[in-house]
Amino acid sequence: MKRVIIFCLACLIGVAIVHPAYAQDTPTYPIYIVQPGETLTQIAIKLNVSVEEIIQINNIANPDLITEGTRLFIPGLEGISGVLTAKTVGLGETLSSFVKISRFDFNFVKKLNHLTSPNEVYAGSSLIVPIDEEQEILNSSIQLQSGQSILEVALLQQLNIWELIEANRLDSGFIYLPGDILFFRSNQTDQVVSPISPLLNSVTVEKLPLKQGATVVLKVVSKLPVNLSGSLNNLPLKFFSSENESYYALQGIHAMAEPGLTDFELQGTFENGQLFTFDQKLLLESGRYAKDPPINVKDATIDPAVTIPEDDFVRSLINNVTPQKYWTGPFIDPVDPPLCYKSVFGSRRSYNNSDYIYFHTGLDYGVCAPSLNIYAAAPGKVVFAGLLTVRGNTVYIDHGQGVFSGYFHQAEIKVKEGDVVEQGQLIGLIGATGRVTGPHLHFEIWVNGVQVNPVDWLENTYP
């Protein structure tokens, strides 16, 4: 189901490859391709220009209609023309490895992004780079062992030593250290080494940068069976295996997590006894959540003497992680169409004239359909069905691997604890029990102990 109406703008004319511009009578501007969710303000900050300048040279009538894929002329970048885009720095990457793999000019990228130090670049950072569809990226890598020379690596990989030196920005074959990663081009898919460990093919985080309220999928592909552990945003990760020595962990990012840099740690023990440990700062962005109008409710429903024990009880439910995965594909809306929303996830809230210290932990469906039916959003097992003070008549369903869904304020519950339910099965009726201002269904999803935006689970398949 499409939840966002896409407005189309005519694309501006551009060229495909960035190259130095020469003096001419007509000014030549580079073109930037707008990325998903970007605003003119974000683009202006990223490119160190003003919003007004972008609007003026692009003759933009309505800045709010800028959409993904729009091509914008960018002023203030003398000596640069062609098409620019944004690429995200991946897990384990540094500025040096980023430019090596993609074969960009190091000083050009520094200038384009106004970088004064490589330490300004973190996993999740967005770097402006030229589009060059003819440039082949370096898709393979190898880690230098103690006592190993560049010549030996070139012979083992059947590479031209001078091409290897040039690709890795080495002035000679003697400027390297054991443990360094060398990059090269190969037709063999197994010639990939993660900078985190030579026994790992890859470690990826979907999606970077992190965002408040998002569901994060961490994927690890290993050359050997490995026992993994780690943490993200100070929360312990739980890993599950898939096929061919692939592993994944699902983790929610709290809707009120502090934007900025957050910690990521990963440790592993391979079946041969070898160990690795890795840590890196990841960029975490605001979810840009709005404030709801102040809400008046019964005092008892915001009394810490009531809310804290109830929250503790709910956490005792969702902290029991079932290794089995019950769901496949996206979750479904838990009510009949037509759909209408009374409140969305993440909005900041004030109850009874309090400060905005609360946030909305789910998605509220109003009564807009002929029926009041509530359905299971995905297959799972009912772990609670009963009355709570704040949540009213409530059902929690365990979908496995730390994923739970909750259904609040029901008029009537149609299932009981222990029931195994299928996707779309009737579980209750919409009501107005608990902390409410009127009849509605509050629907929420937990991922490894954190409430996340349910819309993501309705529109995507995890993991």
The string of pLDDT tens digits covering residues 418-432 is 999 999 999 999 999
Return the pLDDT at 1. Answer: 43
Range with the lowest mean pLDDT among 37-51, 251-265, 301-315, 393-407?
37-51
Q: Say yes or no: 94 and 229 in one domain.
A: no
Q: Say yes or no: 280 and 362 in one domain.
A: no
What are the pLDDT digits (tens) for 272-313? 999 999 999 999 999 999 999 999 999 999 999 999 999 999
The answer to whether the bond into 27 is cis (omega within 30° of 0) is no
Q: Say yes or no: 356 and 413 in one domain.
A: yes
Distances, alpha carbon 191 to alpha carbons 141, 163, 251, in Å: 6, 17, 30
**What are the residues whose beta carbons fall under 8 Å from the beta carbon of 199, sequence distance 6 or more?**
222, 223, 224, 226, 270, 274, 276
Q: What CA–CA distance (Å, rounded) separates 386 from 377? A: 18
Q: Say yes or no: 343 and 369 in one domain.
A: yes
Does the pLDDT of residue 147 top 90, yes or no? no
Q: Say yes or no: 346 and 431 in one domain.
A: yes
Given 285, 316, 332, which residue is the final one in a domain?
Answer: 285
| Beta bridge partner(s), residue 71 | 33
Q: Examine residue 169 and state whether it is found in any structural domain, yes or no.
A: yes
Return the pLDDT at 295. Answer: 95
> Confidence class of residue 12 from pLDDT cuts 50, 70 and 90?
very low
CATH number for the domain harbouring residue 40: 3.10.350.10
Q: Examine residue 425 and state whether it is found in any structural domain, yes or no.
A: yes
Return the pLDDT at 364. Answer: 98
Q: Examine residue 193 and state whether it is found in any structural domain, yes or no.
A: no
Q: Say yes or no: 310 and 359 in one domain.
A: yes
Q: Say yes or no: 71 and 120 in one domain.
A: yes
Q: Examine residue 293 and state whether it is found in any structural domain, yes or no.
A: no
> Confidence class of residue 106 from pLDDT cuts 50, 70 and 90?
confident
Q: Examine residue 382 and state whether it is found in any structural domain, yes or no.
A: yes
Given 184, 215, 246, which residue is the final one in a domain?
Answer: 184
Does the pLDDT of residue 21 top 70, yes or no? no
Q: Hey, what are 323's tokens?
A: 């290794």
pTM over the 0.95 mark? no
Q: What CA–CA distance (Å, rounded) separates 83 from 181? A: 30
Q: Which helix (H) or strand (E) holds 267?
A: strand 260-270
Range with the lowest mean pLDDT among 16-30, 258-272, 436-450?
16-30
Domain coverage including residue 389: 299-459
Does the pLDDT of residue 13 top 60, yes or no? no
Closest CA to 360 of 234, 429, 455, 283: 455
Q: Examine residue 1 and state whether it is found in any structural domain, yes or no.
A: no
Q: Examine residue 7 and state whether it is found in any structural domain, yes or no.
A: no
Does the pLDDT of residue 17 top 60, yes or no? no
Given 285, 314, 347, which residue is the final one in a domain?
Answer: 285
Q: Say yes or no: 208 and 246 in one domain.
A: yes
Does the pLDDT of residue 214 top 60, yes or no? yes
Q: Say yes or no: 156 and 66 in one domain.
A: no
Collapsing DSSP to helix, strand or coil, 116 comes out as coil
The tally of domains found in the chain comes to: 4
Q: Say yes or no: 115 and 160 in one domain.
A: no
Return the pLDDT at 209. Answer: 93
Closest CA to 263 of 246, 251, 275: 251
Q: Say yes or no: 220 and 338 in one domain.
A: no
Q: Say yes or no: 115 and 207 in one domain.
A: no
CATH number for the domain harbouring residue 451: 2.70.70.10
Q: Examine residue 189 and state whether it is found in any structural domain, yes or no.
A: no
Contact 112, 80 (CB under 8 A): yes
**114-147: string of b/e by CB count within 10 Å (b at 16+)?**
ebeeeeebbbbbbbbbbbbeeeeebebbbbbeee
